[in-house]
C-alpha cells in the first residue's frame, strides 16, 4: 500500500487530495496543527480514513516526527498561510510558514524519508505582473510577501532536487476554487453574497478591484495534477491552469446570473485594498497536458455555477 503524508490536509486542496488518495487505496496521513477549536470539517468524507498527526510547519521537530511515523512514499506540502492579503499584515509569519516551512518539510524528507517523492505547492502569484500567458519559462516577479515566500519555497525545492537527487516536483497552480474555499477569498465571498440575495436579503457586497483578472479553475481537478506530478518519470515543474482569464467584475455578473437576481455592490473598499496587486493571470498548462495528460474540465461558468449553488444549499 502506498503511503502519503499531506501537510495542509484540513484546507481546501488537502481535503480533496486526501479523498483522491484514499480512493486510490493509499494509506494517508495528514499533518494537523493544534487549534483551540478543532477544524476537521473539510475532512468529513474521509475523516476516519486519514491518520491525523500533530505538527506545525513552524516546528522542525514535529515535522521530523510526522515523517518518521508516517514513513511516506509521497509527501504533499500544501500547508501555508495562503491568503495574499494577510501576507502584508503578517509578512514574517507568512515567510516563516509558506517559505521556510517548505524548507523544513524538505529537510524532514531528506533526513527521514529516503526515496520519498515530494510535491511543493507553488503559485501563479510568483509571476506577479509578468505578461500573460504565463508558463514554466515566464520570469517570476512576485508582488506580495506571499508570492516571495512561495518563490523561496519553489527554489528550495529545486535546490533539493539538484543537490540531493531527491524527487521534488513543483506545481505552479493558478487560482482554483470550490465550495471549500476560505470565506475571505473573492470567489467564495461573492458566491455567499449571491446566495443571500437569492434568499431575499439586501446585503451590500464590498469589494476591491473589479478589473483584476484571474484564471479560475475547480480545485478537485487540480489535486489530480499534484498526484500525476509525483507519478511522472522525473521530477519537474508544472503550471496548472485553465488558460482562460476573467475579471472579478465578470465573476460578480455571472454569480448574479446564476442566482437569478441582482444586489448592491460597492467597489474600491479600503477593507480589502492591497498595497500591490497582480492584474492579469492566465496560465498556459500545455506542458502538464503533454507530459502528465492533465487537462481541467470545469470552465468559468461551470465553476461559478458550482459555487453559487453550493452556497444556496448550504445550511445557514
Ligand atoms: P488553504 O488555506 O485552504 O489551506 C491551508 C492549509 O495549511 C490548512 O490546512 C492550514 O491549517 C494549513 N496551515 C496553515 N498554517 C500552518 C502551519 N503553521 N502548520 C501546519 N499547517 C498549517 O489553502 P488551499 O488548500 O487553497 O491551498 C493549498 C496550497 O496550495 C497552499 O500552499 C496554497 O498557498 C497553495 N496554492 C493554492 C492555490 C489556490 O488557488 N487554492 C493556488 C496556488 C497555490 P488550518 O486548517 O489549521 O488553518
Ligand atoms: P488571490 O485570491 O489573491 O489571487 O490568491 P483572492 O481571491 O484573494 O483575490 C483574487 C483577486 O480579487 C481581487 N479582489 C478581492 N479579493 C478578495 N479576497 N476580497 C475582495 O473583496 C476582493 N475584491 C477584489 C484581489 O485584489 C485579487 O486581485 C489565491 C490564493 O489561493 C493564493 O494562495 C494562491 O496562491 C493564488 O490564488 C494563486
Maximal C-alpha separation, the chain: 59
When pLDDT is averaged across residues 38-54 and rounded to a whole number, the result is 94
The CA 16 to ligand 1 mean position distance, Å, reads 12
CA 274, 32, 16, 240 torsion-angle sign = positive
Q: What is the pLDDT of residue 187?
A: 98
| Annotated catalytic residue 76 | no
pLDDT digits (tens, 9 = 90+) for 156-192: 999 999 999 999 999 999 999 999 999 999 999 999 9
- Ligand 2 geometric centre to CA of 67 (Å): 32
Q: Which of 16, 119, 146, 222 is catalytic?
A: 146
Place of cell 469589494: 207
* 246-247 and 213-214 beta bridge pairing: antiparallel
Task: Give the pLDDT band (50/70/90) at residue 45.
Answer: confident
Is a pLDDT exceeding 90 seen at residue 38?
A: no
Tell me, using a 6 A CB cutoff, whether residue 54 lines ligand 2: no
**Which H, E and C letters describe the chain, residue by residue?**
CCEEEEECCCCHHHHHHHHHHHHCCCEEEEEECCCCCCCCHHHHHHHHHEEEEECCCCCHHHHHHHHHHHCCCEEEECCCCCCCCHHHHCHHHHHHHHHHHHHHHHHHHHHHCCCCEEEEEEEHHHHCCCCCCECCCCCCCCCCHHHHHHHHHHHHHHHHHHHHCCEEEEEEECCEECCCCCCCCHHHHHHHHHHHHHCCCCCCEECCCCCCEECCEEHHHHHHHHHHHHHCCCCCEEEECCCCCEEHHHHHHHHHHHHCCCCCEECCCHHHCCCCCCCECCECCHHHHHHHCCCCCCCHHHHHHHHHHHHHHCCC
Residue nearest to atom 35 of ligand 2 (CA): 123
pLDDT of residue 316 exceeding 80 = no
Active site residue 146: yes
Cα–ligand 2 centroid distance for 65 (angstroms): 34
Q: Is the pTM of this model over 0.95?
A: yes
Give the integer Cα–Cα distance in Å for 139 and 240. Answer: 16
Q: Which entry of 29, 82, 87, 125 is annotated as an active-site residue?
A: 125
Q: Please give the distance, rounded to the nearest whole angstrom, from the Cα atom of residue 84 to the centre of ligand 2.
A: 7
> Could you say which ligand is closest to the alpha carbon of residue 217?
1
10 Cβ contact list (under 8 Å, min separation 6): 30, 32, 39, 40, 42, 43
Distance, in Å, from the CA atom of 50 to the CA atom of 30, rounded to the nearest integer, reads: 6
Contact 75, 4 (CB under 8 A): yes
Give the closest residue (by CA) to ligand 1 atom 40: 175
What is the percent of the chain where pLDDT is above 90?
Answer: 98
> For the chain, which domains are there?
3-176+216-240 (3.40.50.720), 179-214+244-277+298-313 (3.90.25.10)
Q: Is 143 touching ligand 2 by the criterion CB < 6 Å? A: no
17 lines ligand 1 (CB under 6 A): no
At 21-34, the pLDDT tens digits run 999 999 999 999 99
What are 257-298's pLDDT values in tens digits? 999 989 999 999 999 999 999 999 999 999 999 999 999 999
CA–CA dist 220, 310 (Å, integer): 15
Q: Whose CA is nearest to atom 14 of ligand 1?
A: 80
Mean pLDDT of 205-231: 98
Q: Which atom of ligand 1 is nearest to the CA of 174?
A: 42
CA distance 296 to 241: 7
Which of 187 and 315 is assigned the larger pLDDT? 187
Please name the residue whose Cα sits nearest to atom 33 of ligand 2: 82
Q: In Å, how far are 198, 240, 293 from 296, measured between CA atoms?
A: 29, 8, 10
Catalytic residue flag (residue 136)? no
In the reported structure, the alpha carbon of residue 222 is separated from the centroid of ligand 2 by a whole-number distance in angstroms of 17
**What is the number of the ligand 2 atom nearest to the C-alpha of 181?**
31
pLDDT at 133: 98
Query: From ligand 2's centre to the CA of 237, what distance in Å?
Result: 23
Amino acid at each position: 500500500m502506498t503511503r502519503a503524508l499531506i501537510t495542509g490536509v484540513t484546507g481546501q486542496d488537502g481535503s480533496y487530495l486526501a479523498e483522491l488518495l484514499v480512493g486510490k487505496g493509499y494509506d494517508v496521513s495528514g499533518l494537523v496543527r493544534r487549534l483551540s477549536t478543532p477544524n476537521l470539517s473539510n475532512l468529513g468524507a474521509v475523516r476516519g480514513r486519514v491518520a491525523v498527526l500533530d505538527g506545525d510547519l513552524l516546528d522542525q521537530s514535529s515535522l521530523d516526527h510526522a515523517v518518521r511515523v508516517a514513513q511516506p512514499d509521497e509527501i504533499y506540502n500544501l500547508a501555508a498561510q495562503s491568503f495574499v492579503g494577510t501576507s502584508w499584515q503578517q509578512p514574517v509569519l507568512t515567510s516563516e510558514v509558506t517559505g521556510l516551512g517548505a524548507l523544513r518539510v524538505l529537510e524532514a524528507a531528506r533526513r527521514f524519508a529516503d526515496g520519498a517523492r515530494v510535491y511543493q505547492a507553488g503559485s501563479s502569484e510568483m509571476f506577479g505582473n509578468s505578461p500573460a500567458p504565463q508558463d514554466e519559462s515566464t520570469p517570476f516577479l512576485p508582488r506580495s510577501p506571499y508570492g516571495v515566500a512561495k518563490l523561496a519555497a519553489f527554489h528550495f525545492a529545486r535546490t533539493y532536487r539538484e543537490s540531493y537527487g531527491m524527487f521534488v516536483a513543483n506545481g505552479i497552480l493558478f487560482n482554483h476554487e470550490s465550495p471549500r474555499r476560505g470565506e475571505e477569498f473573492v470567489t467564495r465571498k461573492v458566491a455567499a453574497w449571491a446566495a443571500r440575495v437569492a434568499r431575499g436579503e439586501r446585503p451590500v457586497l464590498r469589494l476591491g478591484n473589479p478589473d483584476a483578472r484571474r484564471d479560475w479553475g475547480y480545485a478537485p481537478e487540480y489535486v489530480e495534477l499534484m498526484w500525476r506530478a509525483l507519478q511522472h518519470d522525473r521530477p519537474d515543474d508544472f503550471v496548472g491552469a485553465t488558460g482562460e482569464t476573467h475579471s472579478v467584475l465578470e465573476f460578480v455578473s455571472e454569480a448574479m446570473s446564476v442566482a437569478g437576481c441582482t444586489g448592491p455592490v460597492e467597489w474600491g473598499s479600503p477593507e480589502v485594498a492591497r498595497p500591490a496587486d497582480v492584474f492579469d493571470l492566465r496560465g498556459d498548462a500545455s506542458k502538464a497536458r503533454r507530459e502528465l495528460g492533465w487537462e481541467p474540465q470545469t470552465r468559468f461558468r461551470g465553476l461559478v455555477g458550482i459555487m453559487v449553488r453550493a452556497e444556496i444549499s448550504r445550511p445557514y
